[in-house]
Amino acid sequence: MASGEQEDITYTVQPGGSLNGRVRVPGDKSISHRSIMLGAIADGVTEVDGFLTAEDCLCTMEAFRAMGVSIDGPTNGRVVIRGVGLHGLKPPQKPLYLGNSGTSMRLLSGLLSGQAFNVEMTGDASLSKRPMKRVAQPLRLMGADIATTETGTPPLRITGGRQIRGMHYKMPMASAQVKSSLLLAGLYAKGKTCVTEPAPTRDHTERMLQGFGYSVERDGSTVCLNGGGALRATKIDVPADISSSAFFLVGASIAPNSDLVLEHVGINPTRIGVINILRAMGGDITIQNERTVGGEPVADLRVRSAELRGIDIPTDQVPLAIDEFPSLFIAAACAKGTTVLTGAEELRVKESDRIQSMADGLLKLGIDARPTADGMVINGGTLTGGVVNSVGDHRIAMSFAMAALRASGPITIHDCANVNTSFPGFVDLSHRAGLRITSP
């Protein structure tokens, strides 16, 4: 659903409280997207459990239905995909509408570059402002015909019937979406496609391709695959999303007398920056019951309240926590001393400019937060109550909700409709854990 259609959703969170008990947040969004994409182009029937029934992932599902793929569900997180094989997709009758989902659009850019048909992809007002040159330019080097607006934003128009050629691409900046897009294009390419990244990013695409029986080579920071193979249907159990868990990791860390267990969380080593950073700040997080499910490492996370201290965030952790910084900024606001983030210019081109949006909100709540070109300097202090605007960004809305645990007055957060893009049921789940949140 477009963000402009529900702009009146407001959260009101009373100050104080603690987070306790056991909760399981919804399924991992990155893995849910990829399960639909790869299941659709595999041979056979793929079964998915734990699928995230959120608007972003449903947009991916509807896009493949529009291209002739039969998909049952989601029913209680279960999805059944009847794959059509690598070359079985059909031309959609109208543009593919991808809502607020940059992941859908960027990954599909690669997958659709190798098709025989033309396709157009559109999105809501927020997605329509987000940069797509970073995927369009390297895909063009592979032979794809992709048109964007003059400023490099959606809609994207892909002309089919082009011969995609494998290449070795050295990414100028770390981006799992760009890497994944090129690997998906590589499935259709003549020859070998290799991507070298300047810093590690999430590797769900590589892991899942192997789960579907497709050979992927890794050598240090380079991942390669050969085009022209086939994917075999499989079963996927989607772990709980560590990005959604991050709000609770921060909330329980800053709220006195908290002791919370987050169940069945994906702890892929390319995603655990939020755990590493909170621990470096003095956070009390214990990893319990580690196991591997469907090729992905999973564990229960126990987090207890702790006295956090400000740190210079290690630059090697930035790509491992890029989606979690809105919540980490709240941790920094509650920490003793100064927290400095650099090397995170990517945050300025997310669902919002997350550096500026978070700084604006923190300043309204009495925190000394100074945005920089590629990060922020935050001096920990006392959060007051106040009114902030999430600017339609789901992660900003949920981060400021958790801030109320340490605030001196109520926090009101406007424009929260897009929380449903990643975390349906956030209000109910966080209320059960102890957050004093209401939403009309």
Over residues 129-145, the pLDDT tens digits come to 999 999 999 999 999 99
pLDDT in tens, 33-70: 999 999 999 999 999 999 999 999 999 999 999 999 99
- The rounded percent of the chain whose pLDDT value lies above 70 is 98
Two structure tokens written together for 127: 């997605």
DSSP category for residue 4: G
Model confidence band, residue 3 (pLDDT cutoffs 50, 70, 90): very low
Q: Give me the chain's average pLDDT, please.
A: 95
Two structure tokens written together for 331: 């941790």
- The rounded percent of the chain whose pLDDT value lies above 90 is 92
pLDDT at 354: 95
pTM reported for the whole predicted model: 0.87
Assigned CATH for 3-27+239-438: 3.65.10.10
For residues 78-95, average pLDDT: 98
For residues 358-372, average pLDDT: 98
Helix (H) or strand (E) holding 400: helix 394-403
* Orientation of helix 204-211 relative to helix 176-186, angle to 10°: 30
Write down the H helix ranges in 114-261.
133-141, 176-186, 204-211, 242-254
- b/e string for 382-408 if b means 16 or more Cβ within 10 A? ebebbebbbbbbbbbbbbbbbbbbbbe
| CB-facing half-sphere around the CA of 76: CA atoms within 13 A | 0
pLDDT of 6 strictly over 90: no
Domain ranges of the chain: 3-27+239-438, 29-237
| Catalytic machinery residues | 323
Lowest mean pLDDT among 193-197, 222-226, 268-272: 268-272
Assigned CATH for 29-237: 3.65.10.10
Model confidence band, residue 7 (pLDDT cutoffs 50, 70, 90): low
Phi-psi region of 85 (alpha: psi -120 to 50; beta: other; left: phi over 0): left
Among residues 424, 372, 365, the alpha carbon closest in space to that of 389 is found at 365
- Are residues 43 and 231 in contact, defined by beta-carbon separation less than 8 angstroms? yes
For residues 416-440, average pLDDT: 93
Write phi, then psi, for 8 (nearest 5 degrees). -90, 5
Write down the H helix ranges in 314-390.
325-334, 354-364
For residues 394-418, average pLDDT: 96
Model confidence band, residue 2 (pLDDT cutoffs 50, 70, 90): very low
pLDDT in tens, 240-295: 999 999 999 999 999 999 999 999 999 999 999 999 999 999 999 999 999 988 78
Same fold, 3-27+239-438 and 29-237: yes
Model confidence band, residue 348 (pLDDT cutoffs 50, 70, 90): confident
Three-state helix/strand/coil letters over 83-152: EECCCCCCCCCCCEECCCCHHHHHHHHHHHHCCCCCEEEECCCCHHHCCCHHHHHHHHHCCCEEECCCCC
